Each structure stands twice: as structure tokens, then as C-alpha cells.
Amino acid sequence: MAVAVLAAAGCGAPAVRQDAAAAAGVAFEAAVAAGDHIRACGLLAPQTRQQLEQDEQKACPAAFASQELPRRRGIQGAEVYGRQAMVRTAGDTLFLSLFTGGWKVVAAGCTPRPDQPYDCLIKGA
């Protein structure tokens, strides 16, 4: 009986992580669509936020305002690989990592390139 319970819990864990990553993607997308740069900055991973501020030489909300991220809404899918996730939205691909406080966006505004890594507008070092 204990083996069956553990097996069921193991099967549910990836779905829970996938749902949580998708929810973080929805929150980030909603902040971008609303122009809520303070909230969007709060959803960035620490290194990503630091890199954005360094690149733009401005505090995160002001630096974020100058980014041209897609503002279309709608999650198309989320894939989780351990503590990393990729969330596809209607006009963007987000990459997230799981931190102590939950999922944070490590890269946004990402578009695929054939035989190369994604090209991202916002990304950490």
C-alpha cells in the first residue's frame, strides 16, 4: 500500500510543478500586458533582474519599460525539467527556474533559432 501511495505522489509532483510554472508564466505575462513593470521585475530571477539593470543602466522598472516584450496573452504550454521550465505563451517563450520563493523568469522575449539557442530580449548572465 505504501508503495502505491509513493508512486501516486511521484506521478503528481511533475504536474504540480508544471502547473506552478505555468501560473508564474501567466502572472509575468499579465504584468507585462498591464504595463506593471514593478510586478514584472518582482517575477524575474535575481540574476536576470541584475543583468537587465546593468544592461540598461537603470533600476529594473525603468529598464523593463524600455523592453519590447510581446503583450499577447494566453499560455500554450509548459514543460518542466527538474528545477527548470519552459512556458510558451501566445507571443513569447519564457524560461523559468525554481527558487525557494517559487518559479522566477530567467529569460523572456525568447524566439527560437534553427540549430541555435533561443534569442531572448531579457536574460540573466
Which residues in the chain show pLDDT less than 50?
Answer: 1-12
Q: What is the domain-level CATH number for residue 30?
A: 3.10.450
Q: What are phi and psi of 59, to 5 degrees?
A: -60, 155
Dist CA 66 CA 22 (whole Å)? 25
The set of cell numbers assigned to 2 is 505504501
Q: What are phi and psi of 115, to 5 degrees?
A: 55, 25
Instruction: State the pLDDT at residue 1.
Output: 39
Instruction: State the pLDDT at residue 70.
Output: 78
**H or E segment to which residue 86 belongs:** strand 84-89
Q: What is the largest CA-CA distance in the chain?
A: 58
Give the global pTM. Answer: 0.84
| Domain membership of residue 47 as a residue range | 2-123
Domain count, the chain: 1
Instruction: State the pLDDT at residue 2.
Output: 38
Instruction: State the pLDDT at residue 105.
Output: 97
Kindly provide the b/e burial profile for residues 75-99, where b requires at least 16 CB atoms within 10 angstroms of the residue's own CB: beebebeeeebbbbbebbbbbbbbe
Dist CA 73 CA 50 (whole Å)? 26
Instruction: State the pLDDT at residue 68.
Output: 86
Instruction: State the pLDDT at residue 74.
Output: 74
